[in-house]
Structure 1
Amino acid sequence: MSVHDELTSIQRSLDDLSRSVSRLEQQMGSGGLDIRRVRTDCDHLRESAALLKAATSAATAPKRPDLVTIPDTPYDDSLWIDTDDEGLGARDRHAP
């Protein structure tokens, strides 16, 4: 089976579990600590399965790199006034 099929099977099983827990809650009442704990665990499993499904679908989707547009116009020289040319020293001084 593929990963998608396995995740779908897990989702169906968790849906069945949720329905069973709901029937059990109706029979036992939802006020008990044990049944609330089972309901919470069931909900956490459903959330974890949804996160796993989202992570696998994101991992299998082809990723396109973000494109960065570089302008053809030259940079503004005022950006480089207070910098030194690397390896050449400052503009107003001579290299040794």
Structure 2
Amino acid sequence: MSVHDELTSVQRCLDDLSRSVSRLEQQLGSSAGLDMRRVRTDADHLRESVSLLREATSAQGAQRKPELVTIPDTPYDDSLWVDIDDEGLGARDRRAP
């Protein structure tokens, strides 16, 4: 499954959880008190977290397409390399070991 499909599946499960929590609240009434409020808050936090994750993944999907850079076949200008040493050989005016 793709990430989008997985997030949709999680969202459906959270919708079911929210409905179940609402039914449970109605059945228990005020007798559950703090515990029921904690369950409701946790379920709401999960919904918010999944929503943020969905936004983050859609933003990453938009950024994922790399920009292509064309590299020319012509040789580079030798003047670009005047001030550097040949790698592993030392400076031009000195002998290599």
Which interval holds the TM-score relative to the shorter structure? 0.5 to 0.7
State how 1:36-51 maps to structure 2 within 5 Å: 36-51=37-52
RMSD: 1.8
Partner of 2:78: none
For structure 2, the residue ranges without an aligned partner over 5 or more in a row are 65-97
Q: What is the distance in 2 between the residues matched to 1:13 and 1:54?
A: 18
1:62 to partner: Cα distance: 3.9
1:29 to partner: Cα distance: 1.4
State how 1:31-70 maps to structure 2 within 5 Å: 32-62=33-63
**Percent identity of the aligned residues?**
78
Which has a greater percent of helix? 2
For structure 1, the residue ranges without an aligned partner over 5 or more in a row are 64-96
Partner of 2:26: 26
Q: TM-score, normalised by structure 1?
A: 0.62
1:43 to partner: Cα distance: 0.1
Q: What is the distance in 2 between the residues matched to 1:23 and 1:62?
A: 42
Residue correspondences, number: 64
Q: TM-score, normalised by structure 2?
A: 0.62
Q: What is the distance in 2 between the residues matched to 1:62 and 1:32?
A: 46
Q: What is the distance in 2 between the residues matched to 1:62 and 1:54?
A: 13
Q: What is the distance in 2 between the residues matched to 1:2 and 1:60?
A: 12
Is 1:12 paired with 2:12? yes
Task: Please tell me the residue identity of whatever aligns with 1:43.
Answer: D
Q: What is the distance in 1 between the residues matched to 2:43 and 2:63?
A: 32
